[in-house]
Amino acid sequence: MTMPPDQSLAEFIVHAHALKCESEEQMEMCAASLRAHNNPEAADAFHLLSQMVGQAIQDIEAMATGLQLPQVAPWDFHWHLIDDTTCTDEAHYLMNERNVLELAQRNEQRAIKYFQQVVEVATDQTVRELAKRLHDHEQRFSQYIEQRLKQLEGDVDHHADLDPANIPE
Amino acid sequence: MSESDAVLVKPKDYKTGVKPIWCPGCGDFAVLSAVTKALAWKKLAKEETALLSGIGCSSRLPAYVDSYGFHGIHGRVLPLASGLKVARPELTVIAVGGDGDGYSIGGNHFMHACRRNIDMTYIVMDNRVYGMTKGQASPTTAADWNKSKLTPHGTGIPPFQPLSIALAAGAGFIARGFSGDPKQMTQLIVEAIEYPGFALIEVLSPCPTFRPEQKEWKHQVRQAEDIPLDDPVQAAQWLAADDGMSSGLIYRREHPVWQPRHDLESTLAEIEQAFSI
């Protein structure tokens, strides 16, 4: 992800909001899909993460109050690939909580990197301040995931599917 | 970028409360997301938009979009969509489905929808397999794919070439998207909605359950280059040379849209007179 240094606060809020909304939506879709596939453990993990992202969205929306927001076409956001924003293609019906958290951690690291970059290059002081706040939020989120992962050591890898759907006879 | 005092755009507002039951990892999730983003960007009113589908995993999509929707019968999404658009030309009509539904069971309708050129968008989520019926070869499956119990030695049949056939049949908007590139896909859907006529978007949408090797598509799909765009002969040559993994708008040329006039109304008595023996 790259961003122009002269981005205004309103532009940055729109980007940050879209980034978090995308993340929340992806996690909710994964949660629903895994629940439908009788995997409540992974579904609950995705749902919990989604709720945590939702708190960040509320925070951003509160900051947007009273601002004249630009409309950015979905294809004009500064991130360029699915890896920047999404997780649904990495989901698997046998994934466990560890797999969910590892996936979420990869997303968090990308988000931290993005907000860190904004802190470093933005010329607008208010943008830097908001980016720092969001960066710190992501750091706390990442630390929570890390702590939870340590409690789950020993879980098996979901790719060990002993009954795959397509076995030619 | 345009200034507006509108609230933050939320594609989520175009979703119903029905949760998708696609397999985790399915590419169709990204298509659903792109469709809702396109609708949000276009600010299309829910009552001015209709999504229709046939049968198959991808054909569940209208249930998840908060607009008019119709889950039709196998292979018949294009006749349904055509009828709706002819009767209600003010609606934005989007037909969706999969490769089996669109190119096999509905193959004949596909060709004639291309040449009829009714103003609608057709999104085909192509995973090169019949997923809903547990993994049989579809029209776009490679001849040597031997993972299905029905075709243990492969089909031995060259795959259907939907974009070339669409071009030959007269389609004026032909594009290929990829579920791993939702930004491009959203842009293609918006452009297809704005195109006056039949617009085809083939979306490479991996099936993680029956074609797990398609996860590699994210490393294989690339932006299409040197696209002829509006020259049908060059486009045909370009498509013949393409390996099916290039994404982007490949051909765009406007043709007269078929839309019957609605001023030819008759009274009931006149209709009865016309049918009298």
Q: What is the pLDDT of residue A3?
A: 66
Residue A83 confidence (pLDDT) above 60: no
Residues B121-130, mean pLDDT to the nearest whole number: 98
Q: What is the pLDDT of residue B4?
A: 45
Per-residue pLDDT tens digits for B213-253: 999 999 999 999 888 789 999 999 999 999 999 999 999 99
Chain A residues whose beta carbon lies within 8 Å of the beta carbon of residue B248: none
Residues A134-160, mean pLDDT to the nearest whole number: 84
Output DSSP code: residue A70: E
Contact yes or no for B25 and A77 at CB 8 A: no
B187 in reach of chain A (CB within 8 A): yes
Per-residue pLDDT tens digits for A117-145: 999 999 999 999 999 999 999 999 999 99
Q: Distance (Å, rounded) from C-alpha B176 to C-alpha B160?
A: 15
B263 torsion bin: left (phi>0), alpha (psi -120 to 50), beta (else): alpha
Q: How many Cβ atoms are within 10 Å of A38's Cβ, its own excluded? A: 8
Contact present, B163 and B200 (Cβ < 8 Å): yes
Q: How many Cβ atoms are within 10 Å of B169's Cβ, its own excluded? A: 17
Residue B154 confidence (pLDDT) above 80: yes
Q: What is the pLDDT of residue A159?
A: 60
- Give the DSSP H/E element, type plus range, for residue B85: helix B77-87
Q: What is the pLDDT of residue A66?
A: 87
A67 in reach of chain B (CB within 8 A): no
A36 to chain B: closest CA residue:
B21
Chain B residues whose beta carbon lies within 8 Å of the beta carbon of residue A75: 183-184, 186-187
B35 in reach of chain A (CB within 8 A): no
Q: What is the pLDDT of residue A84?
A: 47
Report DSSP letters for A92-138, one per residue. Answer: -TT--HHHHHHHHHHHHHHHHHHHHHHHHH---HHHHHHHHHHHHHH
ipTM, interface predicted TM-score of the complex: 0.87
Length of chain A: 169
Contact present, B4 and B41 (Cβ < 8 Å): no
Q: Distance (Å, rounded) from C-alpha B65 to C-alpha B209?
A: 24
- Give A 15-54 residues with CB within 8 A of chain B: 17, 21-22, 25-26, 29-30, 32-37
Q: Distance (Å, rounded) from C-alpha A47 to C-alpha B147?
A: 35
Per-residue pLDDT tens digits for A16-73: 888 888 889 889 999 999 999 999 999 999 999 999 999 889 988 988 888 888 988 9
Please state the three-class secondary structure of chain B as a single string: CEECCCCCCCHHHHECCCCCCCCCCCCHHHHHHHHHHHHHHHCCCHHHEEEEECCCCHHHHHHHECCEEEECCCCCHHHHHHHHHHHCCCCEEEEEEEHHHHHHHCHHHHHHHHHHCCCEEEEEEECCCECCCCCECCCCCCCCCCCCCCCCCCCCCCCCCHHHHHHHHCCCEEEEEECCCHHHHHHHHHHHHHCCCEEEEEEECCCCCCCHHHHHHHHHCEECCCCCECCHHHHHHHHHHCCCCEEEEEEECCCCCCCCCCCCCCCHHHHHHHHCC
Per-residue pLDDT tens digits for B54-101: 999 999 999 999 999 999 999 999 999 999 999 999 999 999 999 999
The more confidently predicted of residues B199 and A158 is B199
Q: What is the pLDDT of residue A79?
A: 65
Contact yes or no for A68 and B5 at CB 8 A: yes
Per-residue pLDDT tens digits for B155-179: 999 999 999 999 999 999 999 999 9
Q: Distance (Å, rounded) from C-alpha A62 to C-alpha A64?
A: 5
Find which of A88, A103, A161 to mutate to test the B interface (most B CBs within 10 Å of its CB): A88
Contact present, B36 and B11 (Cβ < 8 Å): yes
Distance from CA of B181 to the nearest CA of A (A): 6
The more confidently predicted of residues A107 and B118 is B118
B135 torsion bin: left (phi>0), alpha (psi -120 to 50), beta (else): left
Q: Residue B152: which of A68, A90, A168 has the nearest Cβ?
A: A168
Contact present, B186 and B220 (Cβ < 8 Å): no
Beta partners for residue B3, in sequence order: A70
Per-residue pLDDT tens digits for B257-273: 998 877 667 888 988 99
Q: What is the pLDDT of residue B3?
A: 45
Residue B32 confidence (pLDDT) above 60: yes
pTM of the model: 0.91
Contact yes or no for B146 and A69 at CB 8 A: no
Distance from CA of A52 to the nearest CA of B (A): 17
Q: Distance (Å, rounded) from C-alpha A12 to C-alpha A51?
A: 22
Biggest alpha carbon distance in chain B?
66
Residue A5 confidence (pLDDT) above 90: no
Find which of A3, A15, A29 to mutate to test the B interface (most B CBs within 10 Å of its CB): A29
